[in-house]
Amino acid sequence: MKVFNLFDGDLDKRRDRPGFSWTAVTVGAAIGGKLIGASLYELEPGEKSFPTTTSTATRNG
């Protein structure tokens, strides 16, 4: 298994959308893992990773 340093590892994904810009890496894939899922996102001040969503689903029963 490979080692990935969270502080200086290469972030290989990028999103440039006004208000929602970030760089990221899928850590599990970066270390060669098949059963681990973890992502690291780096955001500039004032940016958000994704728009906020609200669920209105109700459950009967």
pLDDT at 21: 94
pLDDT tier, 1 (very low <50, low <70, confident <90, very high otherwise): confident
* Confidence class for position 51, pLDDT limits 50, 70, 90: confident
pTM higher than the cut 0.85: no
Residue 25 lies in a domain: yes
Q: Report the domain count for the chain.
A: 1
Q: Which pLDDT band holds residue 59 (cuts at 50, 70, 90)?
A: low
Q: Which domain holds residue 39?
A: 13-43
In this structure, what token pair is assigned to residue 29? 């894939």
Could you give phi then psi for residue 38, rounded to 5 degrees? -150, 140
Task: Write down the residue that tokens 């899928």 correspond to.
Answer: 26
Residue 23 lies in a domain: yes
- Residue 28 belongs to what H/E stretch? helix 27-30
In a domain, 60, yes or no: no
pLDDT in tens, 13-44: 999 999 999 999 999 999 999 898 899 999 99
